[in-house]
Amino acid sequence: MIVCLAAVGCAPSDDADPDINLQWEITPNPPSAGMAQLDFTLRDSTEQLIKGAEVKLEGNMSHPGMQPVLTTAEEIAPGKYSANIKFTMGGDWFILVKSTLADGREVRKQIEIAGVRSEK
Ligand SMILES: [Cu+2]
């Protein structure tokens, strides 16, 4: 665990924060190009549900030249969040999950969603 002293030399990182546990599920599974629903649960290192986070999602693909897909998740039950995301094409996606916790900390996690099917 990296502890930041003051505001000096503290670079933001996209690495997973070991304090936060993110479990997710996508519907439909596997997803196709178009709308999908991403449900996830946030817990801290002591398995407590993380309530009241503001969660923004940024969907990107592994190849350059695409517009990121932005969406905001809603807390549907304590510690449980849901978002609708539009996969604008088939292929391999990764979704950056940016959570601002109730105490103001920002935690980033990335989830990989490979093999989104192309539209028929
Ligand atoms: Cu693409």
The rounded Å distance from CA 97 to ligand 1 centre is: 19
Q: How far is the CA of 119 from the centre of ligand 1 (A)?
A: 13
Q: How high is the pLDDT of residue 5? A: 47
* More reliable by pLDDT, 62 or 5: 62
Q: How far is the CA of 30 from the centre of ligand 1 (A)?
A: 17
Q: Give the CATH number of domain 20-116; options: 3.30.930.10, 2.60.40.1940, 1.10.10.60, 3.20.20.70.
A: 2.60.40.1940
Residues 21-80 pLDDT 10s: 999 999 999 999 999 999 999 999 899 999 999 999 999 998 999 999 999 999 999 999
How far away, in angstroms, is 23 Cα from ligand 1 center? 25
Residues in Cβ contact with 95 at an 8 Å cutoff, skipping those fewer than 6 apart: 38, 57, 58, 59, 60, 85, 110, 111, 112, 113
Which residues, 6 or more positions from 15, have their beta carbon under 8 angstroms from its beta carbon? Answer: none
Distance from the alpha carbon of residue 87 to the mean position of ligand 1, in angstroms: 9
The residues spanned by each domain of the chain are 20-116
- CA 24 to ligand 1 centroid distance, Å: 22
Measure 90 CA to ligand 1 centroid, in angstroms.
7
Q: Which tokens in the block code for residue 93?
A: 């996606």
Q: Give the percent of the chain with pLDDT over 70.
A: 84
